[in-house]
Homo-oligomer: A and B are copies of this chain.
Amino acid sequence: MNIAVLGTGSVGATIASKLVSLGHDVMMGSRTAGNEKAVAWAQAAGARARTGTFADAAGFGEVVFNCTKGGASLEALRAAGDGALDGKVLVDVSNSIPPLPPGSASLGEQIQQACPGARVVKALNTMNAAMMVDPGQLPGAHAVFVSGNDAGAKAQVTAILQSFGWRDVIDLGDITTARQVEAYLGLWLALWKSLGTMAFNIAIVRR
């Protein structure tokens, strides 16, 4: 599949490299063409990796991962161009640091509103980058969540997550539930501090 990854940070590079390793063609998008971090990533990642602007990447990908910082996501998506994401699956991995005030719409909802033609799925924002693409580093079927309005888009994202090794993909409901997984960031940060490692995740234990 042709997949775009918006953002050149560690989350973007980690997800993009995993997608390349699974045989996808991946374009990393950034504000300007020739972004140093994007070029360095593409050189390391091999023939299936390429780079471009946010608009280039949005045009290239059937599925688009938003891995930009939460505070920069809406601007990055605007830079992708009006309607560029129409009909596409937009996987929103972003978190807001510092957290959004309680009561405000989540980033996932804000992005769906800003890109009404995109099929936004919130996912993967509840663990660190290494865990996102390597859930097998921990035992058992620990959890990743999907939130979105489009069932077909959630099914496509679920299949990608399963290809990463995820065994318990929980559909939380429509995009308004992005609020709940974004609000979990505070508990994640407290657990990181308490446990002294980022190599953890939550499992949803039920009968």
Give A residues with C-beta under 8 Å from B. 99-104, 137-140, 142, 170-173, 177, 179-181, 183-184, 186-187, 189-191, 193-195, 197, 199-207
CB pair B194 A205 closer than 8 Å = no
Judged by DSSP, the binding face of A is mixed
CB pair B186 A186 closer than 8 Å = no
> Chain B residues near A206 (CB, 8 Å)?
138, 195, 197, 199-200
A103 CB contact (under 8 Å) in B99, B184, B195, B204: B99
- How far, in whole Å, are A140 and B139 apart by their CA atoms in the complex? 12
- How far, in whole Å, are A205 and B141 apart by their CA atoms in the complex? 10
> Chain B residues near A183 (CB, 8 Å)?
102, 183-184, 186-187
